Amino acid sequence: MRGLSQARWVAGAAVLALTVTACGGDDTTDEGSGVPEATSGGESGEVTQGGVLRTQVGEPASLVPGNAGESAGSEVLGTLFSALVDYEKDGSIVPLVAAEIPTSDDLINWTITINEGWTFHDRTPVTAQSFVDAWNFAAYAPNAQSLGYFFGPGIASVEGFDALQSADPDGEGPEVAPEPAAKEMTGLEVVDETTFNVTLTEPLSLFPLMLGYTAFYPMPESCLTAEDFCNEAPVGNGPFMMDGVWNHDQGIAVTKYEDWGGETPPNIDGVEWTIYSDPQTAYLDLQDGNLDFLGDLPPEELANAETEFADRYIEEPSSTFQYIGFPLYDEKFGGGTIDDNYGGEAKVNLRKALSMAINRQELIDTIFNGSNTPADSLVSPIVDGYREGACGDACIFDVEAAKAMYDESGGIEGPIKLYFNGPDTPHAEWMTAVGNYWQAAFGLEYELNELPWAEYLEAQDAHEFDGVFRLGWIFDYPSPQSYLSPIYGPGAGELNFGYVDPEVDTLLQEGNASATIEEGIALYNEAEDKILETFPNIPMWFSQSIAAYNDTAENVELDLFGVVDYMKISMTSTS
C-alpha cells in the first residue's frame, strides 16, 4: 500500500508474503498494552531471554516510514516503530502508543490521545506533534513519499491534503511544478503534548483500523530535517533500534531498545537480517544452521522442507493476493477510457481470455507444491467480505472458451512481454509457466523481462510497462477495502494499471462512510463487481504463509500479516 503505487507490494516469493507488521499480538496480549506477553515454548517450558535472531529480508526500497510501502522495508520498520494501535491475530485492534482506540460520533472528527513516556531512539519524546509532523511530511508532494496518498481522497481523506499537492506545470516540456499552496494539512491540529485532532473530508468508519499501518508512524524532528540520514539509520520509537546503518544488499541489524514505552519487551536482544540475492542460498544457510528462521522458502524446496523441519515448519493462510496486471494505458491491452471499460468489449474479452487460459491449480501444484489457492476474487478469503467465485468464469480454466474469446477479441500481436522482479525471487519460473499456457492456447510467443525490485516499482509508477506485469498484495489492515481502495480507488489505482472509475470511487467512499465497518462490506462488494467488469488484472492465487526454523529458535509464531512475531520469538540457550 502501499502512491500506490505500492502500499504493500510483495517483492518476495509468491508463497510467503514478506510484510509490514506492528509488534503484533494474539490472545495472550496484556490488556491495554497491545504487546503480547511472553509465552512458553521449547522443552523447558520457559521463555529464554536474550540472543540475536538471524533471519532473511529482501533489499528494502526505503526505510523512511512514509516511503516504505513495499514488503521488505515495512518488515524492518515494523520492529523499529510502534504505531498508535496494534493488530491482534484475529484482525482486531488494541491501543499501543494511543491511550485508547479513537471513536467519533460523525466519523469525520477524531481525537487521538497518546500515552506519556514514549521516546524515540534519540531519547526525544514522542508527542502528538510527532505524529502530526510525520503525517504532513508524508503528504507533502515535494517530499515524494510513496505512501503520501494514504492521507488523500479515498483512503484517510484528511482535510487539507489537496493543498499539499503540486499543481501541474503550465505549458509543455520539463518545467518544474509550482510549490504546493501549503505544507500542513488543515485537518491536523495539535491540542497539547498528548492530544491531536484529525478532521476528515468524508466519514470513515475504518479510520481507527488504519492507524497501525506504516504510513501513520510518528517521526522524530531529527529525521524530518535529515531524511537521507534516517533512511540509512532510521530513528524510531519501537522495541528495537538500529545497530549501525543499513548495509545495502548485504544486511540490516537492530538491537533491543531498553527504554521502549510498551509494557512487555521482546524476548530477544536483536535481529540480524541478511539480504540474499538468491532464495536458494538463504535456504541452504537455514539448513546449515547459519539462519535461525526463514520466512521465504524457495518453492522447489517446500516438499522437502515440510519433512526436514517437521514441527518447525509453519503453513497457514495469509492475506497475500498474487495477480498479473494489464497496462490499460497500452493500446494492445486496453486504451479508451472507463466509459468503454478501457478498450471496449474486444479488449475486455482479450484480458479475460488470457486469464481463462491459465491452469492455476496445475501451476500451483507443479511449482508451489500445492501450497496456494487459485484466486476467484480480488479479496482474500481470510477477510470478512470475501465472496467465493466473485470473479466468475474469467477465473476458471477453460482453454476452449478462452480460444473462442481470444479469437473473437482479435487477439494480440506477439511476442507478449511478461514483466517481473528478480533475481532474488522465484517469479521467473511461474511467469514462464504463464507464457507457456498462452503459447499453447493461442500460439502466442512471449518474452520474459526481469527487473530489480526498486527499478520495477519505478517502471510501474511511470507507466513504462508495455506488457503484463506480476504483483502481490498484502492487506494494510484487515478489510476488503484494503484490497480495493489502494489499488483501484481514487488517487491510487491510476498509478498501477491506468485504471480510474468514478463509480468505483463512489462505492468505496460510500462503504467508508457506513456507520460500521460491517455495514460497509456490501458496498465494497459492489465496487469489486464493478472492477471485475473491466478486468484490469488477472487474479492468480491466494498465498499461504510458509516458514521454517531451526531449534535455536522457540515460541515461533506468525502475526496477522504472515511475518514472524518478533515480540514473541525467543532463542534457546544453545543459540
Residue 561: name the closest of 8, 2, 182 by CA.
Answer: 8
The whole-angstrom separation of Cα 185 and Cα 157 is 11
Lowest mean pLDDT among 83-87, 153-157, 546-550: 153-157
The whole-angstrom separation of Cα 281 and Cα 41 is 29
Mean pLDDT taken over the chain: 89
pLDDT at 492: 62
**67-547-281 Cα angle (round to 5):** 80
* Residue 70 bridge partners (DSSP): 9
What is the arithmetic mean of pLDDT over 157-173? 81
pLDDT digits (tens, 9 = 90+) for 228-244: 899 999 999 999 999 99
- C-alpha distances out from residue 292 to 76, 78, 286, 295, 414, Å: 17, 19, 7, 10, 46
Residue 352: pLDDT above 80?
A: yes
Dihedral of alpha carbons 148, 180, 108, 153, sign: negative
DSSP 493-525: GGGTTS---HHHHHHHHHHHTSSSTGGGHHHHH
pTM, entire model: 0.82
pLDDT digits (tens, 9 = 90+) for 325-343: 999 999 999 998 999 999 9
Under DSSP, is residue 169 helix (H, G, I), strand (E, B) or coil?
A: coil
pLDDT at 309: 97
pLDDT at 242: 98
Going from the N-terminus, what domains does the chain have, and what CATH number goes with each?
Answer: 86-170+177-237 (3.90.76.10), 321-544 (3.10.105.10)
For residues 440 and 170, the model is more confident at 440
What is the arithmetic mean of pLDDT over 279-298? 94
Q: Which helix (H) or strand (E) holds 136?
A: helix 128-139
pLDDT at 66: 96
Residue type, 80: L
| Percent of the chain surpassing pLDDT 90 | 76
What is the arithmetic mean of pLDDT over 379-386? 94
Q: How far is CA 495 from the centre of its chain?
A: 16
pLDDT at 226: 85
Q: How confident is the model at residue 46 (pLDDT cuts 50, 70, 90)?
A: low
CB 210 within 8 A of CB 216: yes
Q: Which helix (H) or strand (E) holds 375?
A: none
pLDDT at 269: 98
Q: For the packed helices 502-512 and 481-488, what is the interaxial angle rounded to 10 degrees?
A: 140
Residue 322: pLDDT above 80?
A: yes
